[in-house]
């Protein structure tokens, strides 16, 4: 099989649309696999069959040992590669791994978003010496928004419903960001949260670019800002929580 590889900043408009359509069509698709979400030095690797994409991964190129050893490189797919055909997924990722060995990559890190896992349905690398399992399996929360609000709320856990009602009693409001000032407000919260939690934030310009892409893409997603009124502040509002809500698939 022949794999195509294209740097994310060199994707043509047509290929970019084709990539998005493919990701929207796959149950295992994930927003982090969209090229627009990728940082610099990223690439899209894909397999075509009969003129259509059947397997795709958006990979970041990293130097795990830093600037002192820049020639030691790793290829990492965050929540990918994507392909609902699990036998094809395994065959292509093995082919990709062999190609990366020839290009002297130190390792290939894959994190497919397999949600409904049943014994025998997904590739297993447990008995393959070339692959190592890294930590626990991770999955994203997915919520079907086609039901009405009352039905969605009724399916929440009891403690979640309690927390929602408690937030309403405190006067909490949630609204999508629609201006540059609100985006700046979120980015300030994001930077303060990074200091508080002790993690390294993504580059602010990159986060801003991703937010602009979400807001400019019809029904693709939203940046939600939550605010709560503190009694001691009278009518003042303080932003306490921000979320990026991302839509995947034409039926969501």
Residue 93, domain CATH: 3.40.630.30
pLDDT (average), residues 118-123: 55
Please choose, from the candidates 148, 140, 208, 146, the residue with its C-alpha nearest in 3D space to the C-alpha of residue 177. 208
Whether residues 8 and 106 fall in one domain: yes
Last residue of a domain, one of 60, 91, 110: 110
Q: 56 — alpha (psi -120 to 50), left (phi > 0) or beta?
A: beta
Whether residues 181 and 89 fall in one domain: no
Last residue of a domain, one of 89, 110, 131: 110
| Widest pairwise Cα distance in the chain | 66
CA angle 60, 91, 88 (to 5 degrees): 95
Q: Which residue has the higher pLDDT, 167 or 249?
A: 167
Whether residues 7 and 104 fall in one domain: yes
Whether residues 99 and 32 fall in one domain: yes
125 band by pLDDT with thresholds 50, 70 and 90: low
Q: By mean pLDDT, which of 7-16, 22-31, 128-137, 149-158 is the weakest? A: 128-137
Tell me the per-residue pLDDT of 44-92, one tens digit each, with 9 for 90 and over. Answer: 999 999 899 999 999 998 888 888 888 888 999 989 999 999 889 989 9
Q: How many domains does the chain have?
A: 2
* Domain that residue 85 falls in: 3-110
CA dihedral 164, 165, 168, 172 (to 10 degrees): -20
């Amino acid at each position: 099989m022949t794999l195509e590889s294209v740097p994310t900043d060199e994707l043509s408009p047509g290929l970019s649309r084709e990539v998005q359509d493919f990701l929207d069509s796959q149950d295992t698709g994930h927003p982090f696999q969209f090229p627009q979400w990728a940082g610099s030095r990223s690439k899209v690797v894909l397999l075509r069959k009969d003129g259509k994409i059947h397997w795709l991964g958006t990979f970041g190129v990293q130097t795990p040992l830093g600037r002192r050893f820049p020639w030691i490189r790793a290829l990492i797919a965050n929540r990918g590669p994507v392909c609902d055909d699990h036998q094809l997924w395994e065959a292509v990722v093995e082919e990709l791994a062999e190609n990366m060995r020839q290009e002297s990559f130190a390792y290939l890190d894959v994190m497919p978003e397999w949600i409904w896992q049943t014994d025998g349905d997904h590739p297993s690398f447990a008995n393959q010496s070339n692959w190592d399992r890294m930590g626990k399996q991770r999955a994203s929360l997915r919520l079907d928004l086609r039901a009405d609000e009352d039905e969605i709320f009724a399916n929440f856990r009891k403690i979640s419903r309690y927390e929602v009602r408690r937030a309403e009693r405190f006067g909490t409001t949630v609204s999508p960001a629609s201006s540059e000032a609100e985006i700046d407000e979120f980015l300030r919260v994001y930077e303060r949260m990074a200091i508080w939690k002790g993690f390294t934030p993504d580059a602010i310009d990159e986060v801003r670019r991703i937010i602009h892409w979400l807001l400019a893409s019809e029904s693709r997603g939203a940046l939600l800002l939550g605010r709560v009124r503190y009694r001691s502040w009278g009518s003042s509002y303080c932003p306490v929580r921000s979320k990026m809500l991302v839509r995947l698939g034409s039926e969501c």
